[in-house]
Amino acid sequence: MNQLSPSTVPAHVAIIMDGNGRWANARGLPRAMGHRKGVEAVREAVRTAADCGISYLTLFAFSSENWNRPQSEVSDLMGLLKTFIRRDLAVLHKQNVRIRIIGDKTNLSGDILPLLLEAEETTRANTGITLVIAFNYGARDEIARAMRALAVDVAAGRLTPGEITPERIAAGLDTADIPDPDLIIRTSGEERLSNFLLWQGAYAELMFVPEFWPDFSRDTFLSALSRYAMRERRFGGLQPAATLAVGS
Ligand code: FPP
């Protein structure tokens, strides 16, 4: 952790927690055990992120496509998320963690929505790390919802098409008041974004680590942050040395 100075710690890290099923398969265990172990990795990741001074940690907990999994696995995942909120909310609140939920909150059945809203409401005024849970989230769906709202404004004459700017689109996304991620990590060796933060991740550093999510330890996280600290981000501009050479 010694290479991590505050100036190189990303403000916002987003993680695609992949590989729970394969972690379980490799041990001859049911997939549900992989998800259960994954929740322990979630706890450790939140602690590590807070200790390192990361301001926002976004976790991809359930995608809008995950409903296509077998019913038993969907209910396992719902059950784990509900248990996490019921058991951990008080501790997270005490640790000054602010919880935000992104994703489509309409048409959610059962008691999941009230729990998610309670987590957001209870921790609204907290000033520590913001834990963003992406639930029923899909980036294309999020962008389509934002576009529909803008189309309504245009149809009602409140906005002209020319006034639709990247800033207005960003303001209509679920992440409106959350800075873009600096670093997106995906575990399990898969190298794709799977419909996660497609707009917000335009300039994010991408990191693909081989560990399955249940094995994503504090050390794995710290080593990813050290590698991030060595990346050079240019946002479409020139690297500082080249800028100097041109100017001198
Ligand atoms: C990917 O593994 C993981 C998920 C689809 C869900 C992640 C959810 C949790 C860790 C638990 C609940 C979340 C919180 C925030 C408490 P996979 O099943 O796709 O693994 P595989 O690719 O090896 O099959």
CATH of the domain at 23: 3.40.1180.10
The boundaries of the domain holding residue 211 are: 12-136+182-229
pLDDT of residue 244: 45
**Cα gap 180→242, rounded to integer Å:** 26
pLDDT in tens, 54-63: 999 999 999 9
pLDDT of residue 35: 97
Determine the average pLDDT of the residues in 138-149. Answer: 98
Number of domains present in the structure of the chain: 1
Domain contains 156: no
pLDDT in tens, 157-190: 999 999 999 999 999 999 999 999 999 999 999 9
Which residues have C-beta atoms less than 6 Å from ligand 1? 17-22, 35, 38-39, 42, 59, 61, 66, 77, 80-81, 84, 133, 213
pLDDT in tens, 95-118: 999 999 999 999 888 899 999 999
Per-residue pLDDT at 1 exceeds 90: no
Domain contains 7: no
Q: Which two tokens stand for residue 130?
A: 């913001």
Domain contains 247: no
Binding residues for Mg(2+): 18, 205
Angle (CA) 154-160-161 rounded to 5° is 85
Domain contains 166: no
Domain contains 109: yes
Domain contains 197: yes
Domain contains 171: no
- Scanning the chain, the segments in alpha helix (DSSP H) are 20-25, 31-52, 71-94, 112-122, 139-155, 166-171, 218-229, 240-247
Domain contains 235: no
pLDDT of residue 113: 95
